[in-house]
């Protein structure tokens, strides 16, 4: 790899790391921890993770937004859906095929590379005739052996940034109010936990689809002359842990 390219990637990775850690640092500082305590805790956590034999391999796939946008277009654009509004089974090439879909959303993105990522992470499935079927309405980033790095980094950064903005928010702030909400119970069995996970997954898909439709309906075009656009959204995560590890003395 050329020296300039290696330096560019190093700078890019450092910028991503800072974006991920800055909100966490703000939160810990607001909680009263010293720099020495933060560095010691981080070092201990990193050593413990590296010593574990159960870690899933992390894979770099680049910026996650094009993948999500491609899947969204596959579920909405009339060129890529059937008469009932469901995503069509697409061939790799040809008119209104997968390559056309990728070029429509992200012209500089390699369609074969995108298809490889979507297939590995079970977002699409290759059929016997060589065409591909969309299997997930949202970009799924886990496989049996690996997890995509960038989507997780973005999710963690967004969650941490929300908390840090809540800490720094002033009463008359001009930006929208950040929030986080959580529901939980300390009194369920493993069987009920599995039922809840299935119920929450089903309901969250419906909820996210509704929000996604709302955002799509209010989307502005790049040619609308808006000088400053904003990225907004909502992230959900599930909770599952031992009672002893999750509860506190109350």
Which tens digit of pLDDT belongs to each residue from 68-118?
999 999 998 899 999 998 999 999 998 899 999 999 888 888 999 999 999
Please determine, for residue 249, whether its predicted confidence score (pLDDT) is greater than 60: no
Number of domains in the chain: 1
Do residues 91 and 98 touch, judged by C-beta distance below 8 A?
yes
Distance in angstroms (rounded) separating the CA atoms of residues 76 and 78: 6
Residue 195 lies in a domain: no
Any domain includes 49: no
143 or 10, higher pLDDT: 143
Mean pLDDT, all residues of the chain:
84
Token pair 């591909």: residue: 132
| Alpha-carbon span 189 to 194, nearest angstrom | 9
| Higher per-residue confidence, 75 vs 243 | 75
Which among 117, 184, 179, 174 has a CA at the least distance from the CA of 150? 117
Distance CA 169, CA 179 (A): 11
87 located within any domain = yes
Interhelix angle 98-105/111-120, rounded to 10 degrees, is: 110
In a domain, 115, yes or no: yes
* Residue 164 maps to a domain: no
Per-residue pLDDT averaged across 193-205, rounded? 93
Domain that holds residue 118: 65-134
Q: Tell me if 206 is assigned to some domain.
A: no
Confirm whether 43 is domain-assigned: no
Q: What is the CATH number of the domain that holds 70?
A: 1.10.10
**Domain presence at residue 201:** no
Torsion 211-16-180-238 (CA) sign: positive
Q: Which residues pair with 142 in a beta bridge?
A: 147
pLDDT confidence of residue 175: 76
């Amino acid at each position: 790899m050329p020296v300039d390219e290696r330096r560019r990637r190093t700078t890019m990775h450092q910028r991503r790391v800072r974006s991920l850690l800055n909100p966490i640092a703000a939160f810990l500082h607001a909680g009263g921890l010293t720099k020495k305590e933060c560095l010691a805790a981080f070092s201990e956590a990193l050593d413990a993770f590296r010593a574990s034999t159960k870690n899933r391999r992390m894979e770099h796939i680049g910026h996650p937004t094009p993948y999500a946008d491609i899947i969204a277009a596959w579920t909405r654009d009339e060129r890529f859906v059937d008469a009932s509004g469901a995503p069509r089974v697409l061939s790799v090439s040809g008119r209104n095929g997968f390559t056309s879909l990728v070029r429509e959303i992200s012209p500089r993105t390699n369609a074969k590379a995108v298809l490889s990522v979507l297939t590995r992470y079970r977002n699409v499935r290759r059929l016997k005739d060589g065409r591909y079927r969309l299997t997930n309405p949202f970009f799924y980033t886990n496989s049996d052996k690996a997890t995509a790095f960038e989507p997780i980094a973005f999710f963690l950064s967004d969650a941490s940034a929300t908390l840090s903005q809540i800490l720094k928010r002033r009463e008359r702030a001009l930006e929208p109010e950040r929030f986080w909400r959580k529901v939980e119970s300390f009194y369920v069995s493993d069987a009920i936990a599995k039922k809840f996970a299935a119920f929450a997954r089903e309901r969250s898909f419906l909820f996210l689809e509704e929000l996604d439709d709302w955002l799509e309906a209010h989307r502005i075009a790049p040619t609308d002359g808006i000088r400053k656009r904003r990225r907004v959204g909502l992230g959900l995560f599930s909770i599952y842990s031992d009672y002893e590890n999750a509860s506190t003395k109350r």
